[in-house]
Each structure stands twice: as C-alpha cells, then as structure tokens.
Amino acid sequence: MSKPVTTSENTQLKDIVAHAKEYGFVFQSSEIYDGLAAVYDYGPNGVELKNNLKRLWWEAMTQLHGNVVGIDAAIFMDPRTWEASGHVAGFNDPLIDNLDSQKRYRADVLIEEKAAEYERAGDPARAAALTATLGRLLTENDLAGVKQLILDEKIVDPLSGSAKWTDVRQFNLMFSTQGSAVDSDAPPVYLRPETAQGIFVNFLNVQKSARQKIPFGIAQIGKAFRNEIVARQFIFRMREFEQMEMQFFVRPGTEGEWYDTWKAARRRFHEAIGLAPEKLRFHDHDKLAHYAKAAVDIEYEFPFGFKEIEGIHSRSDFDLTQHQNLSRKKQQYFDNDLNPDTGKPYGNYVPYVVETSVGADRLFLATLCQAYQEETITEGEGEEQTTKTRTLLKLHPALAPIKAAIFPLVRKDGMPEKAQEIFDSLRFDFRLVIEDKDAIGKRYTRQDLIGTPFCIVVDGQTLEDDTVTVRDRDTREQTRMPISALRAYIGERVSFKTVFAKL
C-alpha cells in the first residue's frame, strides 16, 4: 500500500456543494420549487455532523468551564431589544442597484472586489488605499462618497457590464413579522439577527439563579436571521443560520486580558477539531461594529479564500447599559471582592463583556472543506498494481456522522447474524450501520465518502474465534482484534475527550 498523494488543495467550492448534496449533508431548501436563495437544509449525515459540532462547542463551553452556563432564549424578543442594541438604527448594509440589469449589490462588496482585483494584479498598495478609503467613507456614513468611489473606480455590474448605478442607500438586515394576531397596529417583531441579545436581557436572571460570580459566561446556540443582500458561497452566508455565542461578563478594566484569553482559546478549539493551523488566521477589524471596542475574526481558508468563521468582540458595557437605559431596570452587579487599591469592595457596576461568536454553519462548511480529500492511491503489487483516485472525508472521528460500519463479508454462513450481534452490543455506545450490499471495496468507498472512521469486517475467521478486522479510513490499514476489544478501540478514538484534551 503506497503513500497517497492528496490533491485537496485544488478543491473547488462546487466539488464540496456537489458532495454535500450527493451524500446527504446539505440540500438547497425547497429545491423542488427551484430553491429559496441562501436557505439550506441539512440531510441525514449533515445533521449528525452539525449536531456533533454543536455538542462539542456546548460541552467545551459549559462542561469544561465551571463559570460558563447555558441558556436557550426565544427567537422573538420585545422589539425594544433591537432599539437598545442598535440594530434598528445601525444594522445596515449599503446597497446599490444597477439600472440596466435590475440587480442589487452590496456597494462595499463591489469595492472590496475591485481591491482584490488590484491585489491579484500585483498592486497591493492600490488595493490597500481603496480599502482604507472605503473604510473611512463607511465610518462617516458618506453614502454619496461610496457611490462616487464606484464611479471613479469604473466599477461595472459583473453581469451586464453596465455602469448605470442608483444612489447607495442603507438597507436594514433584520427580518420582521406581524407582532400580534389581534392588534394589526402592534409593532412588528423581529427575527433575531444575533443570539447575543437573548443573553444580555437574561444577564441578571442567570447570574442570580445560577449563583455566578464575575467573571462568568453565558452560552447559547440558536437560530439567527439576516436578510443578506449578497447571498453566495453556499452555506457561508445564509438568511437563516445558527450561531454559537458566549458572552463573558467581566469586571471593567479586565476585558483586555479576557479578550486575549478567549481569542487564544477559540483558535485552539478550531485546531482541536481538525482545522489545519496554516488555514487559520486572525484578522483584526478595521471597521468596528456599532457595539465593539475591539474585534478580531478567526478566518479559515475556504476554497474561495480566507473568510471569517468566528468573531471575538470586546463589547464593553454597551449592551447592558443600553438595556438598562431603555428598560429602566438596573443591569448592575455587586462585586464584593476587595479592590487592592482602595481596600474596599469593587461594589456596583455594569459588567463589561467579551463575546465569542461562531456560526455553526460556517464551522460546518470549514470542517467539510478541510475534510474533503482526493487522493491518488496505488494498490496491489507488480503487474496487478493499479492506481486510482479515492475521495474521502477525513473528518475528526469525534465529528463523523457514523462511527463504524459493520460488513458481513458475505450474506450467508451466519455472518449477517454475527454482524447484527456486534451492532446490538455496541449500539448504546456509537452510531453504527450494517452494510451488506456490494463488494467490500465498494462498501469501503461508500463509508470513506461520508467520513466513517472505522469499518468492521465479519469473515469466516470471526465465526471461529470471535475476531474481526477493523479498517482505518485514513491509512486503509486493517487490524484484526477480538470483538470484545471494539468498544474500547473505537470509543477511545471517537471520544470528545480527544478534542477536549487539546483545549
């Protein structure tokens, strides 16, 4: 068995999209009606992988930290929440329409794409200057300036080539719906654009009921909705997506250390679940969101370039103070630790917040891109030697949708019954499948394609001495072992502990 040559560097997003559909990971939503743009459904393997990612994140947050607890807040919130948070006034993207093609674009994205063009053409200085000008215009909310920049740069509609643009205007990304079944004048309720606000408005409920002392965190996984103008790149930018957010409440003045601590911790998490260190990088924000005092993205190198998968934000006391002002309910904490400078308790204050916010879907996509491999392998010896390409998902075993597949070598001689016996003895421990159709090689291929780390073969020898072969997905090596050893062998390798130990 020779060493495989991996060609995953050339993987394109279209390969991932096709694979995700073919093998039951991700489907376009309402596909039979031609699909709803930027909305996706997870299939049988996708939901398992996504649930594993979510469980890993959840346990890494709440089980590994005595001072991080979870909540599950509602998607609908009092509309005043979004006034306080700044989303009603400020959660906008600058959009522009092309009069010829009738297509709508994000004005900032058109300019960023132009900057990327300069970069590719070997003029990074021009690219940087353009990005800086855009940043300044957006900070000053100078929309006329943004349009002028588009005209000056001779940016045309990528579809029609036309330069006939409307003015740039701000477009609020929040979806809203009817707030009351009885009162048609009732204000609309929004579908939350981030899960974080459900945490902020519950800050005191959680602190008191969970008897937490600062510093402590509140974690949540849930759906969020944004009416994205540019909805491209598969599940990277969706209109309905899932966030995994943790707000860490700290004493003012200590937020800098906590920001650094969480920044490092979150990168370790991504590496521990198998994202390649060289495909991860930090990117400090130039343009800060309305709530942020400092912000960094953890970016992953997708087939379409380095893009954000997670944001770490130092949000100061912005959100709690805003909610305190609008609700007129104090959002303070009494800190009875002694301040060494005064010898007195720190007393009452509105805590500062360091937030970690990762999209479950983006993490899913990064995981899939990382795992997707095409290898050229050589099998057999001498004249029998053949070379072929195999496609596989090298998922971390803790993430794999199915942990082991059991193959009776043939569908007779008691082998199917033995396979069923093994399945029954392990089904409380792992998600397994029995595969008895087609030749063994084809069955291995099917499991490689969905990332199953182990294939257990029941053969003639099994019936004599209760041993099986276990084939490793990545090395293709087979090891014979007693059936009684399977639980420990597989368990050790698929356990979340293998990830947690690296955090």
Contact footprint for ligand GAP (CB under 6 A)? 194, 196, 226, 228, 237-238, 241, 243, 245, 308-311, 355, 357-359, 361-362
Q: Which residues are annotated as a binding site for substrate?
A: 106, 194, 241-245, 355-359
Q: Which is nearer to ligand GAP, 308 or 436 (CB)?
A: 308
Q: Which is nearer to ligand GAP, 215 or 311 (CB)?
A: 311
Tokens of 194: 């981030």
* 493: region left, alpha or beta (phi > 0 left; psi from -120 to 50 alpha): alpha
Q: Which is nearer to ligand GAP, 147 or 192 (CB)?
A: 192
Q: Which is nearer to ligand GAP, 237 or 403 (CB)?
A: 237
Q: Least distance to ligand GAP from the beta carbon of 444, Å?
A: 34
Q: Which is nearer to ligand GAP, 245 or 375 (CB)?
A: 245
Q: Which residues are annotated as a binding site for ATP?
A: 226-228, 236-241, 308-309, 359-362
Residues contacting residue 198 through CB under 8 Å, at least 6 positions apart = 71, 73, 74, 77, 192, 220, 222
Give, in degrees to the nearest 5, the angle at Cα 269 between 279 and 196: 105
Q: Least distance to ligand GAP from the beta carbon of 274, Å?
A: 17
Spatial distance between the Cα atoms of 151 and 164, rounded to a whole number of angstroms: 9
Q: Least distance to ligand GAP from the beta carbon of 283, Å?
A: 11
Q: Which of 82, 86, 128 is nearest to 288 (CA)?
A: 86
Q: Which residues are annotated as a binding site?
A: 106, 194, 226-228, 236-245, 308-309, 355-362
Tokens of 238: 């969706």
Q: Which is nearer to ligand GAP, 55 or 390 (CB)?
A: 55
Q: Least distance to ligand GAP from the beta carbon of 311, Å?
A: 4
The strand pairing partners of 284, in sequence order, are 296
Q: Least distance to ligand GAP from the beta carbon of 315, Å?
A: 8
CB atoms within 10 A of CB 283: 14
Q: Least distance to ligand GAP from the beta carbon of 308, Å?
A: 5
Residues contacting residue 453 through CB under 8 Å, at least 6 positions apart = 395, 397, 400, 403, 404, 472, 473, 474, 493, 494
Residue nearest ligand GAP by beta-carbon distance: 359
Q: Which residue has the tokens 């009684």?
A: 484
Q: Least distance to ligand GAP from the beta carbon of 240, Å?
A: 8
Spatial distance between the Cα atoms of 90 and 193, rounded to a whole number of angstroms: 12
CA distances (Å), origin 285, targets 22, 85, 110: 37, 20, 19
Q: Which is nearer to ligand GAP, 106 or 362 (CB)?
A: 362
